[in-house]
Structure 1
Amino acid sequence: MKPLFPLAFLLLLGACSILPKGEELVVYQLPASSAAPMNGRTVDWALQVNKPLASPLLDSTRIAVLPEGDRISAYQGVRWEDRGTLLLRDRLIDAFRNDGRIGAVSSDDSRLDTDLVLAGDLRAFQGEYRAGRVEVHILLEARLVQSGNRRMLASQRFEVRETASDKAPAQVVAAFGQAADRLAAQVLDWTLAQGARSAALSARD
């Protein structure tokens, strides 16, 4: 049996050499927000921001792209540092905390008692090729819900598009950051307005 050992070892080395190498990934985080803090009156209600519901491709670390028509794919060799739904949720939380007018903001991970819950469906979080350029498209159907009785107070569709300066993944990621900032600003203003309306109605009861 001993003469077989060197042969088996050589065969094993040969097999290792033809196995496919692991994919080398470049991992991106969503660029830091460039929004400036606001100085306004702090509201007396607390907000929980939930991870939005989404399709498996958007609720993943893959950077989705529509190269043509309705065909959806993902950039090869690059990934988000976290799932797209979590990236957007955390960007919204950062926007609320940076703004400062809602003093108590938490995520669904913390499971704290709050007055209102911001939830929704993420319909688009992807790059789309248009006339030879890449346009980042984010579409969120948001819902504002009372925590206690789960009654929906309001719903609103938010949609932004941002053209990347180049097709390279780094520039597309930069466009994602800009688009996320714009969408977060819109969601922030809407949430504050709806929260004020809810507080006024509660005060009348």
Structure 2
Amino acid sequence: MPLLAIVIAFALPGCNLVPERTPVTLYELPAQALDPAAHGSSWNGTALRLATPDASGLLDGARILVVPMPNQPQVYAGVRWADTMPQLIRNRLLDAFQDDGRIPSLVHADSNVSADVELLSDLRSFHSRYRNGLPEATLRLDVRLIDTRSQRLLASRRFTQHQPVGSESIDAVVDAFGMAADRLARELVDWTVNRLEDR
């Protein structure tokens, strides 16, 4: 099966990944702004802190991941994300909440401002995988809403998005990640608003 040039990534603690040729091409995560939501319901004033997703292993880095065979993660050679994957997702979600506009009291993860509820998450998948000979971008994020005063779990959910890619070009793969992230962000924002309005 023809694949883009990829190199095996060894995720041993303390070890560097396989060196890549220079120059390295950096990619931002493409994003389409969310349409502002209709403000038909009254907001209850809850302040929300959006934490950077937790991740481990290769998911905590900036290399663009591909899984051509089950359980064999690899990386595309000569390319990287412009930031780590957890930071890309955090920034996409921040933009989505701000575009939507229904939660005006939104606190950045690094801010010292107090918040009523915190949105915590674990990044479980951020890779392309091969289906029927072509890549498919896959994103999976496990989310929890926590009351910051009582530390009580208010709600939790797994969000998963898949986006088929029409070719093996890295540009097409990156665009597919952007489309999957846009849908995930829209779904997560709607879910969060509904949970907080019921609080």
What pairs up with 1:33-182 in 2 under 5 angstroms? 33-40=32-39, 41=41, 43=43, 44-182=45-183
CA distance in 2, matches of 1:177, 1:187: 15
CA distance in 2, matches of 1:165, 1:87: 23
CA distance in 2, matches of 1:106, 1:75: 34
Distance 1:22 1:56, change over 3 A: same
CA distance in 2, matches of 1:21, 1:84: 19
Structure 2 residue identity aligned to 1:29:
E
What secondary structure, in the 3-state scheme, does the structure 1 residue paired with 2:63 have? coil
Offset of residue 45 of structure 1: 1.3
Structure 1 range deviating more: 54-63 or 37-46: 37-46
| TM-score normalised per structure 2 | 0.85
1:162-192 residue CA offsets vs partner (Å, 9 max, x unmatched): 0122211111110111000101111111111
CA distance in 2, matches of 1:113, 1:160: 32
Offset of residue 120 of structure 1: 1.3
Q: Which residue of 1 aligns with 2:28?
A: 29
Structure 1 runs not aligned, ≥5 long: 1-19, 199-205
CA distance in 2, matches of 1:166, 1:34: 25
Offset of residue 84 of structure 1: 0.3
Offset of residue 22 of structure 1: 5.3
CA contact under 8 A between 2:60 and 2:85: conserved in structure 1?
yes
Structure 2 runs not aligned, ≥5 long: 1-18
Q: Which residue of 2 aligns with 1:10?
A: none
What secondary structure, in the 3-state scheme, does the structure 2 residue paired with 1:91 have? helix
Structure 1 residue identity aligned to 2:167:
D
1:58-92 residue CA offsets vs partner (Å, 9 max, x unmatched): 11111111011210011110000100011011111
Offset of residue 32 of structure 1: 2.5
Number of residue equivalences: 179
CA distance in 2, matches of 1:42, 1:55: 39
CA contact under 8 A between 1:93 and 1:106: conserved in structure 2?
no
Structure 1 residue identity aligned to 2:113:
L
Q: CA RMSD in A?
A: 1.6
Structure 1 residue identity aligned to 2:197:
A
> Would you tell me which structure has more helix in proportion to its own residues?
1
Offset of residue 23 of structure 1: 2.1
Q: Percent identity?
A: 39
CA distance in 1, matches of 2:20, 2:104: 49
Distance 1:49 1:134, change over 3 A: same
CA distance in 1, matches of 2:76, 2:110: 29
CA distance in 2, matches of 1:61, 1:78: 9
Distance 1:70 1:101, change over 3 A: same
| TM-score normalised per structure 1 | 0.83
CA contact under 8 A between 1:133 and 1:164: conserved in structure 2?
yes
Offset of residue 21 of structure 1: 9.2
